[in-house]
Amino acid sequence: MIPEITEEVAEPQGSATRPLLEVDGATLQYKTKEHLVTATYRIDFKVYTGDRFILLGPTGCGKSTMLKGIAGFMLPDEGTIRLNDGVITGPGPNRMMVFQEFDQLFPWKTVKQNVMFPMLASSRFSRKDAEKQAIRFIEKVNLSKFTDVYPHMLSGGMKQRVAIARALAMEADVLLMDEPFAALDALTRLAMQEELLQLWDDLRFTVLFVTHSIEEAIIIGNRILVMSPHPGQVKAELNVHQFDHDNQGGEEFKKLHDKIHNMLFADRILEEEAAPHA
């Protein structure tokens, strides 16, 4: 029996606060006539307002599936997912998603029209307010010069900034980000991580951020949920001090990195140790 590494984390200090998002024993499965795939198994976590909450784990451990559950595209087969005390039963404009793919923008709409789209589609904003809000958030992601251009004119990083502006402009309860920087080159990725943190400093939104990169998890997150390989289960939940790229080479960063690395790979090491040598 492989010992579980789990760590209890104190809930936010002095809080009578209730969690904004509460995932309680959530098992999420894909069912076809022939197959049943259990993607996440009895996952528990709580996200509080203003958290930069990370789901970290290897490819296939169910991170995207967990986000789909929170977005309301899939319902749990076991357990519940609550937002603001209400059980999630389907998609809604109080949760906005940013994906990894650069093609998440409408190619036939300009940057401004893309950012305005969910505000108009959800009828949460009048046309005038949606336009004002779009201009404000396009400025926040430093794309004011590109307000009226079409996505094919933009680099991958710029497209991701449009997707972020579009999601933030909705002022949803929680921003769901599924490896949004994973397809970017290394330097752009670092710049985007910093920009996201600056936006958070400015706006204090709540974000649930999926990554398979330990470095990215430590840079972005204030809390990290470490998940096991398929089917995804919770291995540990950690609080993180604020790090940025300047102290990434530091001793404390390295210690935390190694600790998480060991958690992620503990099973593999134990399996290798248990396997008979050839």
Binding status of residue 122 toward Mg ion by CB under 5 A: no
Rounded to a whole number of angstroms, the minimum distance from the CB of residue 191 to ligand ADP is 24
Rounded to a whole number of angstroms, the minimum distance from the CB of residue 14 to ligand ADP is 34
Strand order in the sheet with 95-98: 95-98, 174-178, 207-211, 52-56, 223-227, 234-239
The interface region with Mg ion, picked from 13-21, 62-70, 87-95, 123-131 by CB under 5 A, is 62-70
Dihedral sign (CA 242, 248, 250, 251): positive
Q: Which does 2 bind (CB under 5 to 8 A by kind): ligand ADP, Mg ion, none?
A: none
Nearer to Mg ion, 46 or 68 (CB): 68
Query: Per the structure block, which two tokens stand in for 246?
Result: 């300047």
CA distances from 110 to 86, 149, 171 (A): 36, 5, 21
Rounded to a whole number of angstroms, the minimum distance from the CB of residue 78 to Mg ion is 21
Residue with tokens 């499965």: 29
CB 113 within 8 A of CB 165: no
Binding status of residue 100 toward Mg ion by CB under 5 A: no
Nearer to ligand ADP, 39 or 165 (CB): 39
The interface region with Mg ion, picked from 56-64, 101-109, 181-189, 256-264 by CB under 5 A, is 56-64
Strand order in the sheet with 21-31: 36-47, 21-31, 78-83, 86-87
Rounded to a whole number of angstroms, the minimum distance from the CB of residue 163 to ligand ADP is 18
Rounded to a whole number of angstroms, the minimum distance from the CB of residue 91 to ligand ADP is 17
Q: Residues binding Mg ion: what is the number (CB under 5 A)?
A: 1
Rounded to a whole number of angstroms, the minimum distance from the CB of residue 46 to ligand ADP is 20
Nearest to 116 by CA among 140, 132, 139: 132
Q: Which does 233 bind (CB under 5 to 8 A by kind): ligand ADP, Mg ion, none?
A: none
CA distances from 101 to 171, 181, 264 (A): 22, 9, 26
Nearby residues of 194 by Cβ (< 8 Å), 6 or more positions away? 244, 245
Nearer to Mg ion, 64 or 113 (CB): 64
Binding status of residue 64 toward Mg ion by CB under 5 A: yes
Query: Per the structure block, which two tokens stand in for 93?
Result: 């404009």
CB 108 within 8 A of CB 89: no
Chain residues in the site for ligand ADP (CB under 6 A): 30, 37, 39, 57, 59-65, 230
Rounded to a whole number of angstroms, the minimum distance from the CB of residue 105 to ligand ADP is 21
Nearer to ligand ADP, 39 or 163 (CB): 39
Nearer to Mg ion, 138 or 234 (CB): 234
* Interacting residues with Mg ion (CB under 5 A): 64
